[in-house]
Structure 1
Amino acid sequence: MPTVDDLRRLSLALPGAHEVTYKGNPWFNVGKKTFALVLDGRVILKLDRGHQELLFEIRPETFRKFPVATVYWSWVEIARLDDAELADLVLEAWSQIVPKKVSRPYLASLP
């Protein structure tokens, strides 16, 4: 069962990623853009909009829309994920905010 420490480890392993603290919560950014954060004990990820909508529909117990009308974020119950799925979701969230010239070579280098 993944934890916030796993989220931290996975996030900080990505190119350009760093951790900031906002109101005592860890946020994971590249530059000033956030791709993953913890808020009130919940993990929130910036996922691809189409993938996100699918997850909301087929796994509502694990994924819920974060209630901000103009931004697409997902509340994720990480205890319901396995380690590999969390790793994939963190990578997806990161790739949503970095330039394609950064994400494409990195993603192509993965096994």
Structure 2
Amino acid sequence: MALALPGASEVEYRGEPWFQVGSRGFACQSRGQIIMKLSSAHQELLFEARPDVFRPMIAGALRWSFVEIEQLDADELADLVREAWTQIVSKKVSRAYFDAA
């Protein structure tokens, strides 16, 4: 799903898959959990509304989301992967992608 997005590639980080565009990551697996870079406002909403599925992952100044993906349907997971990707690509790239879809 992540690799279908423009510019996305998969690298290995500490033995785990990491999805990125250039050198900027947007989703990774860590110790059996998925971590995604979601928008700040959306993260806060999800942390409050669905704490069983979404939890904060804080590393210094970074605030990402732990996501229990087995509790999501395929459409919601796809939406979240695209959202994470849009957090690191330029607006020009994301607009072109969504306009073509």
1:43 paired residue number: 34
Task: List 4+ stretches of structure 1 deviating above 2 A.
Answer: none
5 Å-filtered alignment, 1:28-107, equals: 28-107=19-98
Q: Which has the higher contact order (CA 8 A, sep 6+)?
A: 1
Unaligned runs of 5+ in 1: 1-9
CA distance in 2, matches of 1:107, 1:69: 32
Name the structure where strand makes up a greater proportion of residues: 2
The C-alpha deviation readout for 1:58-106, integer Å capped at 9, x for no partner, is: 0000000002241120000001100000000000000000011101110
1:6 paired residue number: none
CA distance in 2, matches of 1:88, 1:80: 14
Does residue 6 of structure 2 align to residue 18 of structure 1?
no
Q: CA RMSD in A?
A: 0.7
Please identify, of 62-71 and 28-37, the stretch whose mean Cα deviation from structure 2 is larger.
62-71
| Alignment coverage as a number of residue pairs | 101
TM-score scaled by structure 1? Answer: 0.88
